[in-house]
Amino acid sequence: MAESVIPTGTDGAEPPLDGRIAALRDEARSALSATRDADGLQEWRNRYVGRSGEVTLLLRSVGSLPADERAAFGQAANRLKNELQASFDERESEITSAAGPAGAIDVTLSGRHPIRGRLHPITQTVREITSAFGAMGFQTFEGPEVELERYNFTAMNIPADHPARDMFDTFWLDRVDEDGDRSILLRTHTSPMQARIMESQEPPIRVVIPGRCYRYEATDASHEWHFYQVEVLAVDEGITFADLKGTLYEFARQVFGPECKVRFRCDFFPFVEPGVEMAVNCFNCDGDPACRICRGSGWLEIMGAGMVHPEVLRRAGYDPGRYTGFAAGMGVERVAMLKHGIEDIRHFYANDMRFLSQF
Ligand SMILES: [Zn+2]
């Protein structure tokens, strides 16, 4: 085997050992500098330093040499192998860095963008609403989601036998008081905070109260069993219905744009008198019968409002002969759905990043 790779002289005599190593070194080096790519490098490695490469075979042939030559030849062949391996490594790194991105770091490539976190669309909408009222001097408050029945209903002029309680299918806590009545619930609206604020503060009051509410009802494209509301309350001497309209109109302009128009129509809520429902003009059409957002009416209802019912003021300890006020409440999901053209309220709470990352 050794004969096939170790050059032999024409006269059949072995050339000097140093000469054979030097010849192999020259040949391998020039072959290495001729390599141009990864395939050429692999070929070179197989031919010279691989398991059956010429240098490897040369080393193996040491055993067949006369004993007095083995040590010197073995050392020289080992030096050659190390030297060629180092040259190979060097050439390999030259070729791969010249080849560019396939094998090396290309510093001119733009980086990968990390996924950025962001606020939930409902949080964004809550902040937009509260800052629109904040610009008009309203302070933001929050209140308990687990509420006493007397704040959620009684203080809001909804006595136990009042038919309006049917409007609020309620999650009750499993607790019965001394009279055998259930008295703790998950609030069905943010309105109980009207009573809590009035109990703890003196007029003038200008507050906006965002928060989560709960109702025991079936879920569909426009109903969730939990949702956000924002409550608005202003109480002072001399507050009139004109203040209600002016404030809510300015709010609509802030949130839906300066061209926004509003419409007020009579509505009923037990805790206001008179009560109204406010709508904004449809952003999608001008009363087009085919519009699927406003269903052809040209208007989108966004909140209920009204002058605070004298009975609500009285229950909070205010003299309704001296103080008046207005209150409003809106569903945050509805505002967000109208602003962004979202068709199904359930998207907000499905935790689907494909939806959430659009905002
Ligand atoms: Zn429309």
In a domain, 110, yes or no: no
In this structure, is residue 233 part of a structural domain?
yes
**In this predicted structure, what is the pLDDT of residue 99?**
63
Query: How many Å lie between the centroid of ligand 1 and the Cα of residue 286?
Result: 6
Distance (angstroms) between ligand 1 centre and the Cα of 163 equals 34
CA of 344 to the centre of ligand 1 (A): 17
Same domain, 199 and 305: yes
Residue range(s) defining the domain that contains residue 52: 2-99
Q: Is residue 132 part of a domain?
A: yes
Ligand 1 midpoint to CA 265 (Å)? 18
Measured in Å, residue 289 CA sits from the centre of ligand 1 at: 8
Q: Among 69, 99, 129, where does a domain finish?
A: 99
Residues 128, 40 share a domain: no
**pLDDT value for 244:** 96
For residues 47 and 134, membership in a common domain is answered with no
Same domain for 91 and 128, yes or no, is no
Local mean pLDDT, 10-residue blocks, the chain (359 residues): 44 60 89 88 90 86 84 87 90 77 69 86 95 95 92 85 73 81 87 91 94 89 89 95 96 92 93 93 81 84 94 92 95 90 89 88
The tokens describing 13, both together, are 């005599």
pLDDT at 122: 94
State in Å: Cα 93 to ligand 1 middle.
66
Q: What share of the chain is helix, strand, coil (3-state, %, to 5)?
A: 40, 20, 40
Question: Has residue 287 been placed in a domain?
Answer: yes
What separation in Å is there between the alpha carbon of 312 and the centre of ligand 1? 37
Note whether 16 and 164 are same-domain residues: no
Nearest by Cα to 172 from 212, 215, 218, 226: 215
The answer to whether position 115 is within a domain reads no
Secondary structure element (H or E) that encloses residue 184, with its range:
strand 184-186
Structure tokens at 179: 């009279």
Closest of 359, 338, 122 to residue 230, by C-alpha? 122
- How many structural domains does the chain have? 2
- On whether both 139 and 69 belong to a single domain, the answer is no
Supply the pLDDT for residue 10: 43
71 falls within a domain: yes
For tokens 């609030």, the residue is 187
Q: Is residue 232 part of a domain?
A: yes
pLDDT at 6: 47
- Secondary structure class of 247 (helix, strand, coil): helix
- Shared-domain flag, residues 309 and 339: yes
CATH code for the domain in which residue 324 is found? 3.30.930.10
Ligand 1 centroid distance, CA of 288 (Å) = 6
Q: Please, where are the H alpha helices in 214-344?
A: 241-256, 310-315, 332-340
Q: Which residues contact 1 (CB under 8 A, 6 or more apart)?
A: 57
CA of 248 to the centre of ligand 1 (A): 21
Question: From CA 91, how far away is CA 97, in angstroms rounded?
Answer: 10
- What is residue 341's predicted lDDT score, i.e. its pLDDT? 83
d(CA 127, CA 354): 22
In this structure, are 21 and 126 located in the same domain? no
Q: What distance in angstroms lies between residue 291's CA and the mean position of ligand 1's atoms?
A: 5
Ligand 1 centroid from CA 332, angstroms: 20
The one-letter amino acid at 231: E
What is 74-110 written as a DSSP string? HHHHHHHHHHHHHHHHHHHHHHHHHH-TTTS--TTSP
Predicted pLDDT at 291:
82
CA angle 271, 232, 218 (to 5 degrees): 70
- Assess if residue 104 is contained within a domain: no
How many residues are given for the chain? 359
